[in-house]
Each structure stands twice: as structure tokens, then as C-alpha cells.
Amino acid sequence: MNEDPRLGLPSASKLARVFQCPGSENMIRSLPPEAFSRKPEEDELAMRGTKIHAAREKMSDDDLDPEDAELYQRGIKFEQDLIKEWAAAHGIGIGNAQEGPRELRLFLNDPETFDPLASGQLDVHYTASPHALVIDWKTLYCQNLPPSNKSAQLRFQAVLLWQNRDGIEHIRVAYDKPMAYKGGADDFTDYTVDDLKFSLYEIQFGLWQARKKDAQRVPGPECRYCPAKAYCREAAAYALLPSIQKYGDHTAISPKPEEVAAHMTIEDVVEVWRMGGLAGKVIEECKDRLKTQPPEVLAQFGLEVKAGRKLDPITNGAGLWSFLENAGWSFDQIVQCVKFGKGELAKVIMAREGCPEKLAKNRLDKEFAPFIERKNADGSVGYIKGI
């Protein structure tokens, strides 16, 4: 039994990659299971997004921590703005718009065999026949999110709803981006029946290309989010291309990185910074893959997996405290060796008080304020929110 709700088929959120690189689907299907393991930081971000989506599905932020609860509430306001703008534009009266099933997965089928070709999940949608509104929640930064009129994901979701719901002739699509919410709703796209027909033909053609055995792999920005990037020669070449184009062959002379950056134009600096994220991810994926290779394979290239650095964590804190006291250490000397963490303190509060994590973190932030130094890490370069 296939437990994947997508049935192993392309999904709306991945459609841009399928269009950009038709051969990626074949390559992804050929990957070993370890290619789909996520880094801890990726798991954390995915988990946060999943929790906020779940909160929207049940319309409750009880299970969210304060930061994510605030994001959820901002998302709700953003959604309300989108609904008001849509209703006003089409003269839809209050109460006439019906919310459809949340997190609704719909399939696009082959017109001849009726076999499923791809699917999409509608986070939120409303109908007031012949009009409909589709809203896709993007809870975190999503710096590379395109505007709604260039989003293959939103266009496919509109087509899916039109194909699966009778009487719909006009669909508005939009992203709900609480991170970028400043009030109002000015990024949405409307599709008429003619638009939807044309989009359907284009999507069917793109999916047909991806099903071909010799579908071409075409590297580009979408490589950043492709699970096959560590296995793909085209992705590796694309990630390394900026340095080859701009700086030539450095096999004879290897300048220091700071010297190279100092002599670049600011335009080149920005371009290399943008590409650095993809190049870094490909390199890290390649390192992880090398660690899985047998020693004899690595030896062919003069490589080996070296022993990891020693960690030796102290796991019996209470016992060590008692040992140091008996050894004559003063209280102040012992305290200097102890490092308190907010995460560990929250866990103890939860155990002592029997309260949920959200409440424990709130209490920690307020009641322990005299012992907390409020400060931020050094700033980092990033995209302007909402642009």
C-alpha cells in the first residue's frame, strides 16, 4: 500500500521544478532512501511549518509556541484581507462564500486513461459560484517565492479546483505570507475559464515531458530544492559555474578569498552570494554522500573517513556537583562551570508544573527575566521581507 498521499507523482509545490528540469523526476525516482533524509535544521523548519498549517486546519493555536502563534495570527489576518478584497471585487455578500475542506488534495488525471498524473493540496479555499478563491499558506520566510502571477504552484491549484468542482468559472489565487504581512492584500492573480484551459494544456505538456524516459535535466535555481542535487552532474556544474566564469583557472595561483571579494563589483558580490546558498548545499550533500562510501571506493581517490572529534559530554550533572562539593569546591566555583539553557529550563518547568510547552516557555520568558540577558547575534545578509 502506497502511504505517500502524492502517490509518488509530481505535486503542485514541485511543479516549477518539473517544468524547469523535466528529467529531475526520473532521477529522483532512482535515488536511494538516504537521499531523502533531512538535516536537523531542515527538520526544525519543516516541523514549524507543519505545526502552523495544522493550527490553521483546526483554527486553534493552542499547540504553538509564542513566536509561531504570532505568525499564525498574522496569517489569519492576511487571509481575512484576501477574502475581503476578493468578495468586494466580485460583489460577493457576507456569508455567501463557503469555505471548502481544508488541506484538500486533488488529482489531475490523464484524459484518456484516467490515471493520476499529478496532485496538489489546497490549504484553504472558498467558493461562491461561479467564483472561487484559493489561498496557499507560506508560513516562514520563503525568500525565493515568486509573485502569484508567476507561480506554477498556484496556477496548478486553480486548474485542479476548476477540474474537480462544477460551476466554477473564475478563480483567484494568492499566497498567505505572515512573515511579510503589513496589512492589506495586493498580490493575487485572477484566472478566467480561457486562462484555465490554456494553463491545463501547458501543465499536461510539462508533465508529458517529465514522463519521457530521456527527459532532459536542466540545471537552474530550482536545483536548490531538489533532493537529487547531490547526485546530479548538471546541478554540480551549475553550482560551480559562477567561479569558473568570473575568475578563470586558479590552479596555478590561488588568491585569498578576501582578496577576490575585495576586487569584485558589488553586482558580482550579490550574484555569488545568491549562488553560494546552492553551492554550499551541494557541497554539504556531497560530503554526506562521501561518508557513506566503502573505504576501498574512497581510497581510489586518496580519501578516507577520519574519526570524528571527541565529544565526551557530561551526562551525570547531579553526581558531578556532589563530587565537586566533596572535593572542596566552593558554591561559586561550581556555578561557574554550569551553563543554563532556556530549552532545558522549560523542560524542567513542564515536568514540575505539569504544564504544556507553550505555557512553560511563556513563564520562563517572564519569571526568569532578571537572569536573562537580551541580545541578538551578529546580523546576516538576507532578502527584504515581502519583496
- All domains of the chain in start order, with CATH: 12-211 (3.90.320), 229-299 (no CATH), 317-368 (no CATH)
pLDDT at position 171: 97
Query: DSSP letters along 81-115, please?
Result: HHHHHHHHHHTPPTTT-EE--TTEEEEEE-TTT--
Give the single-character DSSP code of 147. P
Query: Does an H or E element contain 127, and which?
Result: strand 124-128
What span, in angstroms and rounded, lies between the C-alpha atoms of 224 and 241? 14
Q: What is the pLDDT of residues 361-387, one digit of tens each?
A: 888 888 888 888 888 877 777 767 655
Which positions ≥6 away from 204 have C-beta within 8 Å? 108, 111, 117
What span, in angstroms and rounded, lies between the C-alpha atoms of 175 and 186? 10
Are 210 and 18 in contact by the 8 Å Cβ rule? The answer is: yes
| Percentage of the chain lying above the pLDDT 90 cut | 36
State the CB neighbour count (10 A cutoff) for residue 253: 7
Q: What is the pLDDT of residues 268-277, one digit of tens each?
A: 778 778 777 7
* Mean pLDDT over the full length of the chain: 84
What span, in angstroms and rounded, lies between the C-alpha atoms of 140 and 71? 8
Q: What is the pLDDT of residues 77-136, one digit of tens each?
A: 999 999 999 999 999 987 888 999 999 999 999 888 889 999 999 999 999 999 999 999
- Return the ∠ at Cα 24 (arms to 231 and 271), rounded to 5°: 75
pLDDT at position 244: 39
User: What is residue 205's three-state secondary structure?
Assistant: helix
C-alpha cell belonging to residue 316: 551525570
What span, in angstroms and rounded, lies between the C-alpha atoms of 269 and 273? 6
Asked whether the whole model's pTM tops 0.85, one would answer no
pLDDT at position 385: 64
State the CB neighbour count (10 A cutoff) for residue 136: 23
What span, in angstroms and rounded, lies between the C-alpha atoms of 271 and 220? 14
pLDDT at position 67: 85
The phi-psi region of residue 107 (left if phi > 0; otherwise alpha if psi is between -120 and 50; otherwise beta) is beta
Are 86 and 92 in contact by the 8 Å Cβ rule? The answer is: yes
What span, in angstroms and rounded, lies between the C-alpha atoms of 242 and 273? 10
pLDDT at position 188: 94
Residues of the chain with pLDDT under 70: 1-2, 37-43, 141-143, 240-264, 383, 385-387
